[in-house]
A and B are shown apart, each in its own frame.
Chain A
């Protein structure tokens, strides 16, 4: 009997272990080793921190890195601010069929591939696009306006792409808050803002943090949206990694960039958890 459960346990664990080791652990170990190589001649390599030094010494790389981090944090905050009322409405105010319908509406954009969705934004925002034409037609502007290829366009794209990943954990934590607790707050003299601040947000904290972590990581690692909506000057760190690997064929530097990004995202997730007093078990469980 004991051997039977053991076997079952091993069988259930195998796909997960294969997944983790083949797709995550082994590539990362290899990438780490690659990032520590320095090419000293044709086909000759030495172990050295040269790639990491290149990253630190080149202002463009550092600047792009910082910019990507700040923009991702900002995108996460905007997603939270936009997503919270949406999630609150769906979880607490909408009832029955309306509730499922609204939830479905949040989900619908994800039936289309990210590429198509981003093209949708391009159709809206480009110089000859829907918004520009509409404004001209209404006589509000006199020439076509280019709304693509700037930071605002990137931000719109990032927020739009990650909305669902913020709304879903928020709906589930807000849904678990008993309506009577909110009513008790009102009954005891609380006003709207104080109930939001003292009761609803503390309760929703695990959902807020887990949503933020997911959205932050998605934004930081996003390649398509910044490239398409931000154009050539978008300066997104994933683009640098891409160009090192694919364009420059400098796998060593690309691997180093990849590792720097991994360290950054791990650090920010850790810092967020520490700052909000949450634990990974609480937010992900």
Chain B
């Protein structure tokens, strides 16, 4: 099957700075593809090149197998939901949605029918005559998507459209966006710096940093099997230590950190030998917390420490544990099963994690 969108060696330079460097990817029909990266990583530049507002320095963009480099933005089978939605404030909702159809020269009757249908579909059948500034944040969001979807584009681009919403609404819109995508059965390309948006909604995610794709894969791939230290640090939270590898034995490593902590970890097939400097990443939620040492003896790494602070944040609560031997601080997820509800600052605890959960990368690979 021809992919809906294919980018081949896409490069964009602004003067001396390279915003996007040799990016290649393809998006199969009907899927939800996200580009995740910190601000300034070049993701908006890619989006604007696909939409046609920027011309790539080199490389090619194919939509449904055909190059669109020579096609003006108003003729591309691509529509975009802008960061601040860019609804036309001078028109009512129905005129906003009908704008593209009017420009395509459809008869008035068809426009009215199609606008009615799409409003029905986004669950807001009664709002056609309302002014844009009378809508709530979530309604505007849905109207912006409807305004694009009514044109039945091959590809819908979304440029961080949830950024302006408050937290609760954002959580709801994530689910709604995913449902709308399935409902319209259109390929979505979504860019965001918010990892939870990308992880929840996407079929495929590309993590981008400094103009390059670091890794492409499903949400689980990125989380469980990061291929680069940047991905390990950017997707999810991590404890990170730098150090030197003391022993390497068939993928199982022993690393002595700069502060003297000895950690067993894995290289996941990456070539790492003894004596090499390396970075090791351990997720706070991969670390077991216990009051009794005996519960953790089966784990590759275990140590004793005391709680230096409790960072309570409901389900995402953390405990900072200071290791007795090295005085290094380790961030540990606080289990919310009731067992540690009375944990207090200064308490002595045992923590441990398996070597499988400690991901090791050669230093300077970032």
The A contact surface, by secondary structure, is: helix
- A–B Cβ pairs within 8 angstroms, 13 of them: A180-B82, A180-B86, A183-B51, A183-B86, A184-B87, A185-B88, A185-B99, A186-B74, A187-B51, A188-B79, A189-B103, A198-B99, A203-B89
CA A187 to CA B82, docked complex, whole Å: 10
In the bound complex, do residue A187 and residue B84 qualify as a contact, i.e. CB atoms below 8 Å apart?
no
Residues of A near B86 (CB, < 8 A) are 178, 180-181, 183-184
CA A3 to CA B169, docked complex, whole Å: 46
Which B-chain residue is minimally distant from A188 (CB atoms)?
A: B100
Residues of B near A198 (CB, < 8 A) are 88, 90-91, 99
Let me know if B151 is at the binding interface, CB within 8 A: yes
Let me know if B222 is at the binding interface, CB within 8 A: no
In the bound complex, do residue B90 and residue A180 qualify as a contact, i.e. CB atoms below 8 Å apart?
no
Let me know if B148 is at the binding interface, CB within 8 A: yes
**A-B residue pairs, 8 tightest by C-beta:** A188-B100, A202-B90, A180-B86, A184-B86, A189-B103, A180-B82, A181-B86, A186-B74
In the bound complex, do residue B53 and residue A188 qualify as a contact, i.e. CB atoms below 8 Å apart?
no
Within 8 A of A (CB), among B30-82: 51-53, 72-75, 78-80, 82
Question: Given A178-B84, A184-B80, are A191 and B103 also a contact pair (CB < 8 Å)?
Answer: yes
CA A189 to CA B71, docked complex, whole Å: 12
Within 8 A of B (CB), among A31-81: none
Within 8 A of B (CB), among A211-233: none
Residues of A near B103 (CB, < 8 A) are 188-191, 194
Give which listed residue, A180, A181, A187, A203, contacts B74 with CB less than 8 A: A187
Which B-chain residue is minimally distant from A205 (CB atoms)?
A: B90
Nearest-neighbour CB distance to chain A for B108, whole angstroms, equals 15
Which A-chain residue is minimally distant from B150 (CB atoms)?
A: A188
Give which listed residue, B53, B72, B79, B88, contacts A181 with CB less than 8 A: B88
CA A181 to CA B151, docked complex, whole Å: 17
Identify the B interface with A (CB < 8 A): 51-53, 72-75, 78-80, 82-84, 86-91, 99-100, 103-104, 147-148, 151
Question: Given A178-B86, A180-B83, A199-B90, are A187 and B99 also a contact pair (CB < 8 Å)?
Answer: no
Give which listed residue, B53, B100, B104, contacts A183 with CB less than 8 A: B53
Which A-chain residue is minimally distant from B148 (CB atoms)?
A: A188
CA A184 to CA B52, docked complex, whole Å: 12
In the bound complex, do residue B99 and residue A183 qualify as a contact, i.e. CB atoms below 8 Å apart?
no
Give which listed residue, A184, A189, A202, contacts B104 with CB less than 8 A: A189
Question: Given A188-B79, A189-B104, A191-B74, are A199 and B84 also a contact pair (CB < 8 Å)?
Answer: no
Q: Considering only CB atoms and an 8 Å cut-off, how many residues of chain A contact the other chain?
A: 17
Give which listed residue, A178, A181, A187, A202, contacts B73 with CB less than 8 A: A187
Nearest-neighbour CB distance to chain B for A201, whole angstroms, equals 9
Which B-chain residue is minimally distant from A201 (CB atoms)?
A: B90
Which B-chain residue is minimally distant from A181 (CB atoms)?
A: B86
Which B-chain residue is minimally distant from A177 (CB atoms)?
A: B89
In the bound complex, do residue A183 and residue B88 qualify as a contact, i.e. CB atoms below 8 Å apart?
no
Which B-chain residue is minimally distant from A182 (CB atoms)?
A: B86
CA A271 to CA B338, docked complex, whole Å: 74
Which A-chain residue is minimally distant from B95 (CB atoms)?
A: A198
17 A-B pairs besides A183-B86, A189-B103, A198-B90 with CB distance below 8 A are A180-B84, A181-B88, A183-B73, A185-B88, A186-B73, A186-B74, A187-B51, A187-B78, A187-B79, A187-B80, A188-B79, A188-B100, A188-B147, A190-B74, A191-B103, A198-B88, A198-B91
Residues of A near B74 (CB, < 8 A) are 186-191
CA A154 to CA B84, docked complex, whole Å: 47
CA A180 to CA B157, docked complex, whole Å: 14
Residues of A near B80 (CB, < 8 A) are 183-184, 187
CA A198 to CA B53, docked complex, whole Å: 20
Give which listed residue, B52, B90, B147, B151, contacts A203 with CB less than 8 A: B90
Residues of B near A191 (CB, < 8 A) are 74, 103
Residues of A near B79 (CB, < 8 A) are 187-188
Residues of A near B73 (CB, < 8 A) are 183, 186-187
CA A189 to CA B152, docked complex, whole Å: 12
CA A194 to CA B100, docked complex, whole Å: 11
CA A189 to CA B104, docked complex, whole Å: 7
CA A188 to CA B104, docked complex, whole Å: 9
Residues of A near B87 (CB, < 8 A) are 181, 184
Residues of B near A194 (CB, < 8 A) are 103
Give which listed residue, B72, B82, B90, contacts A184 with CB less than 8 A: B82
Which A-chain residue is minimally distant from B53 (CB atoms)?
A: A183
In the bound complex, do residue B90 and residue A188 qualify as a contact, i.e. CB atoms below 8 Å apart?
no
CA A194 to CA B87, docked complex, whole Å: 16
Give which listed residue, B82, B88, B90, B100, contacts A189 with CB less than 8 A: B100
Which A-chain residue is minimally distant from B159 (CB atoms)?
A: A180
Within 8 A of B (CB), among A149-166: none
Nearest-neighbour CB distance to chain B for A91, whole angstroms, equals 17
Which B-chain residue is minimally distant from A200 (CB atoms)?
A: B90
CA A181 to CA B147, docked complex, whole Å: 13
Residues of B near A189 (CB, < 8 A) are 74-75, 100, 103-104, 151
Question: Given A188-B147, A189-B103, A189-B104, are A199 and B88 also a contact pair (CB < 8 Å)?
Answer: yes
In the bound complex, do residue B89 and residue A188 qualify as a contact, i.e. CB atoms below 8 Å apart?
no
Residues of A near B51 (CB, < 8 A) are 183, 187
Nearest-neighbour CB distance to chain B for A227, whole angstroms, equals 42
CA A198 to CA B83, docked complex, whole Å: 22
Residues of B near A203 (CB, < 8 A) are 89-90
Q: Which of B72, B86, B91 has the most CB of A within 10 A?
A: B86
Residues of B near A178 (CB, < 8 A) are 84, 86
Nearest-neighbour CB distance to chain B for A132, whole angstroms, equals 47
Nearest-neighbour CB distance to chain B for A121, whole angstroms, equals 39
Nearest-neighbour CB distance to chain A for B96, whole angstroms, equals 9
Residues of B near A187 (CB, < 8 A) are 51-52, 73-74, 78-80
Residues of B near A188 (CB, < 8 A) are 74, 79, 99-100, 103, 147-148, 151
Nearest-neighbour CB distance to chain B for A267, whole angstroms, equals 28
CA A199 to CA B82, docked complex, whole Å: 16
